[in-house]
């Protein structure tokens, strides 16, 4: 293991992690942030192992002589939407829901807390950090800095945005009743698969149009996340557990009337 590569891999996810922590709204539960970040990064690493093992089991490498050659378009679509998009997002989504139920769920109200945003973000960064480490390690020494910059701006950004969208779907599902809540979460997973597939479909061919399309996708998802985040994660009165005040009606009833 190279110390330089490890530092570059950590640096490729550090700015995004700082953004998540700095912008997380104050809910009075900041003590659990360390445990959320630690276990989320750990599960992000575990998700990479799950993806590799599941892919090797479902699609083992075998030599098959096909009579008809597959087109590049179909191969790219299969790799982007199925082998990469569906497998990676399935493993990460399962872990995001599981960890959110432990650290970011109100079992009395049956609601996901704003900390779900941290869970989704840091599981994505844990996955991206391990992935970036392997890409930087296998790159030539002269190309390591170039690979580090590209992975920081593109790969880490893509994984983060996709899983933040899914985390927001969990939070937005609080407004829905059962069983619509389950269908809404399922639609969030399918959205993550489509986003991941589109990103890989544009980037894998390594063309100028693909990079511009991927950039446009980034901008659109960022706008979407920022807009929904302002609506669903700034309601501090709902989630605040410290310094809670009783309703105004109860206060008025406790105060005796002044008779003049």
Q: How many CA atoms lie less than 13 Å away from 52 in the CB half-sphere?
A: 10
Q: What are 128-178's pLDDT values in tens digits? A: 999 999 999 998 888 999 999 989 988 899 999 999 999 999 999 998 888
Q: Is the pLDDT of residue 220 over 60?
A: yes
In a domain, 66, yes or no: no
Task: Quote the Cα angle for 89-158-172, to 5°.
Answer: 65
- 60-64, 70-74, 117-121, 228-232: least confident range: 60-64
In a domain, 202, yes or no: yes
Number of structural domains found in the chain:
1
Domain that holds residue 94: 3-59+73-233
Residues 6+ apart with CB under 8 A from 77: 197, 201
Long-range pairs of 174-180 with CB within 8 A, sequence gap ≥ 24: 174/111, 174/112
In a domain, 42, yes or no: yes
In a domain, 251, yes or no: no
Q: Is 194 helix (H, G, I), strand (E, B) or coil?
A: helix
Q: Is the pLDDT of residue 43 over 90?
A: yes
Q: Are 239 and 27 in contact (CB under 8 A)?
A: yes
In a domain, 242, yes or no: no
In a domain, 245, yes or no: no
In a domain, 259, yes or no: no
The pLDDT, as a whole number, for residue 55 is 79
Q: Whole-angstrom Cα distance, residue 123 to residue 104?
A: 14
In a domain, 241, yes or no: no
């Amino acid at each position: 293991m190279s110390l330089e590569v490890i530092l570059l891999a950590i640096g490729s996810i550090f700015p995004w992690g700082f953004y998540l922590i700095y912008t997380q709204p104050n809910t009075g539960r900041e003590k659990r942030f360390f445990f959320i970040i630690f276990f989320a990064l750990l599960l992000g690493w575990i998700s990479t192992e799950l993806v590799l093992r599941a892919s090797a089991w479902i699609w083992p490498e075998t030599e098959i002589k096909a009579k008809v050659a597959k087109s590049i378009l179909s191969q790219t679509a299969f790799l982007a939407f199925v082998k990469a998009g569906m497998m990676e997002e399935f493993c990460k989504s399962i872990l995001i829901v599981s960890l959110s139920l432990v650290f970011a769920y109100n079992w009395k109200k049956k609601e996901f807390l704003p900390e779900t945003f941290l869970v989704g973000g840091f599981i994505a960064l844990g996955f991206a950090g391990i992935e970036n480490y392997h890409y930087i390690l296998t790159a030539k020494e002269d190309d390591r800095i170039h690979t580090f910059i590209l992975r920081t701006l593109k790969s880490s950004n893509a994984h983060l945005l996709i899983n933040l969208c899914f985390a927001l779907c969990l939070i937005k599902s609080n407004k829905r009743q059962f069983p619509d809540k389950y269908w809404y979460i399922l639609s969030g997973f399918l959205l993550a698969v489509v986003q991941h597939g589109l990103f890989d479909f544009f980037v894998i061919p390594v063309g100028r149009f693909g990079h511009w399309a991927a950039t446009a996708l980034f901008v659109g998802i960022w706008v979407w996340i920022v807009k929904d985040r302002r609506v669903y994660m700034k309601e501090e009165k709902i989630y605040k557990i410290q310094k809670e005040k009783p309703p105004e009606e109860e206060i008025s009833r406790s105060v005796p009337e002044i008779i003049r």
